Copies of this chain bind each other. A is one copy, B any other.
Amino acid sequence: MLKMTYDQILDYLENNRLEQLKEKVNKLHPADTAQIINELPDEYQTLTFKLLNHEIASDVLPDLYDEVREEILENIQQNQLVKIIDEMETDEATDIISELEEEVSKEVLEKIDEEESRTIKQLLRYDEESAGGLMQTEIIAVYKSKKRDELIEYIRGNYEEVENIHYVFVIDDENKLIGILDLTKLLLARPERMAEDIMDKDVISVRVDLDQEQVANIFRKYDIYTLPVVDEENHLLGRITVDDIIDVIDEEASEDAYKMVGLESEDRVFTSPFSSVRKRLPWLTLNLFTALLVSSVVGIFEQTIARLSFLAVLMPIVAGLGGNSGIQTLTVITRGIALGELTIRNTYRAIYKEISVGLINGIIIGSCAMLIAYLLKGDIMLGVVLGSAMVCNMFIAGLVGSLIPIIMRMLKIDPALASSVIITMLTDIGGFASFLGLATVLLL
């Protein structure tokens, strides 16, 4: 159905029927509009966006791909942008403002609603990837002594400002968070009941500086829908809602998958080729150097290869298996860290396990390889050399594949950066050195 809509919109654009287009795009769900704009040819994206009324535009803008949004933000008139940002919730407005050039963002902050401007300036100070960077300040917070009907009237007065309320936060006189109140409970409460009588005192909250990955872990673990954010003295600052956490989870999963192979998050399917080239080149250059390092290790044994050229034929087997099992280990460990399963307490067990798996798999696969080499070349010693090198290599794979991300995590470097390049470099070096080294000793 969305495909039909897309074709229709493209048709309007190509025939310059902007009036019909305007009517159409302002009636769609903003999420659908965003998806369509993302997929439109570049030259139509800004044009289509400009046809949206401010309220719709404020919902569409955050859902656009970063590159599309960047282009639109550069081409939109400032007074339009001000109106759009005025319609946004503070968390999204902050994200947009932080993407503007400094000069533009200053001007916009002066022109938008004064209170919102103050809040955004406050929010801009938090790290984008922390609880503070995720939270919105539009919340319903009530004093503990308020009675049911007063609460309802308070919600009525603030209903327009806060989307998806679901929960009311209960605070004391000092604005400290003391409880959370599900609207269902409020709906069923007797009139004389006060907030503190019906609230849940076991409220889970997070400090404003907590990293977004850990915030996501709290949502994962406790199956909650909204999470209050507090400062170090438990003053209520804002809330994070679960829909934003889904974005965080997607972002972190992409990031982990991407970092492991040296990609930047912004390198998406439809990032322009030149931008992708620029983003991938540094890693490929690093890769060229690690490959040269591996090559220089092989170079040590050039004389051996000159005399026994079939060693070169078998080299891809040693390298392939070691590299792939190293990346398997790396993936298990990185994912375990991301999902919060791997803690400092159980680190040794994890490394021990991966080494064992590498060793056992190495013995099994190495034996097969030994047999195959023997059958192909009729040389039992060659089989022994190949098999031993593979055991050695897959042991190294288990060791470096687990140890390196864990060490990096201890050093507070993102473990996903222990990318495949480093792991395969180490398994290649280990594999070739043991294979060609053993061959030099046993076969020459």
Which A residues fall within an 8 A CB radius of B? 3, 6, 29, 31-32, 35, 38-39, 63, 152, 155-156, 159, 164-166, 182-184, 186-188, 202, 219-225, 242-243, 245-247, 249-250, 253-254, 256-258, 260-263, 267-274, 276-277, 280-281, 283-285, 287-288, 290-292, 294-295, 298-299, 302-303, 305-306, 309-317, 319-321, 323-325, 327-328, 331-333, 335-336, 339, 341-343, 345-346, 349-350, 353, 356-357, 360-361, 364-365, 368-369, 372, 420-421, 424, 428, 432
Please name all residues of chain B whose beta carbon is closer than 8 Å to the beta carbon of A263 when the two chains form the complex.
328, 331-332
When the two chains form their complex, are residues B250 and A287 in contact, meaning their CB atoms are under 8 A apart? no
How far, in angstroms, from A315 to B320 measured CA to CA in the complex? 13
Number of copies of this chain that the complex holds: 2
List the 3 shortest-distance A-B pairs measured between CB atoms, nearest first: A269-B336, A312-B312, A306-B309
Min CB distance, A275 to chain B, in Å? 9
Instruction: Say whether B317 contacts A288, CB under 8 Å.
Output: yes
A-B contact pairs, 14 of them (CB 8 A): A166-B184, A225-B243, A242-B242, A245-B246, A253-B257, A258-B335, A269-B346, A272-B353, A280-B325, A280-B357, A288-B365, A299-B310, A299-B313, A315-B316
With known contacts A273-B356, A312-B315, A320-B291, A335–B188 Cβ distance under 8 A: no
Q: Which B residues lie within 8 Å of A35 (CB)?
A: 221
Question: For the complex, what is the distance from the CA of A323 to the CA of B267, rounded to whole Å?
Answer: 18
Q: How far is the CB of A27 from chain B (nearest CB, A)?
A: 11
| Contacting residues, chain B, for A368 (C-beta < 8 A) | 285, 288
With contacts A249-B253, A298-B313 known, what are 18 further pairs, Cβ within 8 A?
Answer: A3-B343, A3-B345, A32-B221, A164-B182, A225-B243, A242-B243, A242-B246, A246-B249, A260-B331, A262-B324, A267-B332, A269-B333, A270-B350, A271-B353, A288-B317, A295-B317, A306-B306, A327-B420
Of B246, B253, B360, the residue contacting A219 (CB under 8 A) is: B246
Q: Are A320 and B294 in contact, with the CB atoms below 8 A?
A: yes
Closest beta carbon of chain B to A218's beta carbon, Å: 9
- Measured CB to CB, the closest approach of chain B to A221, in angstroms, equals 5
CB-nearest residue of chain B to A262: B328
* B184 touching A159, Cβ below 8 Å: yes
Q: Which of B268, B302, B316 contacts A310 (CB 8 A)?
A: B302
